[in-house]
Amino acid sequence: MSLKDAIATCVQNGDTIAMEGFTHLIPHAAGHEIIRQQKRDLTLIRMTPDMIYDQLIGAGCARKLVFSWGGNPGVGSLHRLRDAIENGWPCALEIEEHSHAAMANAYDAGAAGLPCAVFKGYRGAELPRVNPNIKFIECPFTGERLAAVPAIRPDVAVVHAQKANRKGDILFEGIVGVQKEAVLAARKSIITVEEIVDDFTDIPFNAVMLPNWAVTAVVHVPGGAHPSYAQGYYKRDNAFYKAWDTIANDRERFRDWIEQHVMQGGPQDFETRLKAQQTKAEA
């Protein structure tokens, strides 16, 4: 399946979408396809919304963001996210804010078919005052006061992985974040992969893997996580994360960038970009 068809079939306006990746394996190519198809009113869920959500928000795709840490790690703010929250540009953005522990537990609950997640969290913290989706319950056995948040059940989970085999089984390696949980919690899932191999041989018995029947669409997009990284394939393009700070800090510059690199582009550009980065690194 092509990325264009996968997004067109699985993602509808108004959907709740979780595009996960904890710094590693962030599905940038899939995000760009969503922007190109001008999907609207999406609820975006992600523990660490970074550049790709900054782009989706700045391009006007999102109505709401559910998150626990929204920044450009080691660099600073996400300027498009801030502009949306602080000034409603390009449209108002509702936020539902959690802690990492809450979201990780909520994905786990979603994958486990539970209505909510229960954990030792938010003790003495102020988020419960501003987020009605954080409540406290009493343990029926010990009486201990515990935090509860609703399970995350996205319409669509979108993740990137290293490999699929011809049957569509998926292999993730390295920092695996909450990708497996997000896919299992979602109604539909799109997995972009670096490589498609004939079969998996010589892989560890417990390597994180999703069988083909647990995913909806598998798409071959080499370089599809760039400027994030794919362990074993390419490194994080930290220089681009730094450069994003300047691009995103100005509405016009951001619009030009999206027009040139997303609207006029396609999934094939990711492999080209990767080669350019590697040539530069070797030079």
Q: Binding to other proteins by residue 33, rule CB under 8 A?
A: no
**What is the C-alpha to C-alpha distance for residues 172 and 225, in angstroms, rounded to an integer?**
13
Among 56, 161, 176, 209, indicate the residue that binds other proteins (CB under 8 A). 176
Using the rule CB under 8 A, is 53 a contact of other proteins?
Answer: no
Q: Which residue has the tokens 């994003």?
A: 244
Kindly tell me which of 15 and 241 has the beta carbon lying closer to other proteins. Answer: 241
User: Binding residues for other proteins, how many (CB under 8 A)?
Assistant: 57
State the angle between helix axes of 238-248 and 251-258 in degrees (0 to 180), rounded to the nearest 10: 120
Backbone torsions φ then ψ of 6, nearest 5 degrees = -60, -45
Q: Is residue 24 involved in binding other proteins (CB under 8 A)?
A: yes
Cα separation, 8 vs 235, whole angstroms: 30
81 binds other proteins (CB under 8 A): yes
- Tokens 């979108």 -> residue: 158
**CA 228 to each of CA 16, 147, 241: distance values in angstroms, whole numbers, following the listed order:** 23, 33, 9
Residues 82-121: x where in contact with other proteins by CB under 8 A, - otherwise, as a string: x--xx----------x-xxx--xx-xx----------xxx
79 within 8 A of 123, measured Cβ to Cβ: no
- Determine, following the binding rule CB under 8 A, whether residue 180 of this chain makes contact with other proteins: yes
Report the distance separating Cα 97 and Cα 65, nearest Å: 8
Least separation in angstroms between residue 204's CB and other proteins is 13
Query: Given candidates 53, 229, 244, 254, which one binds other proteins under the rule CB under 8 A?
Result: 229
For 179, residues 6+ apart whose C-beta sits below 8 A from its C-beta are: 20, 21, 25, 157, 159, 161, 172
Tell me if 144 contacts other proteins by CB under 8 A. yes
Please give the residue ranges that form the binding site for other proteins (CB under 8 A): 22-24, 47-48, 67-71, 73-75, 77, 81-82, 85-86, 97, 99-101, 104-105, 107-108, 119-127, 130, 144-145, 174-178, 180-181, 208, 229, 231, 235-239, 241-242, 277, 281
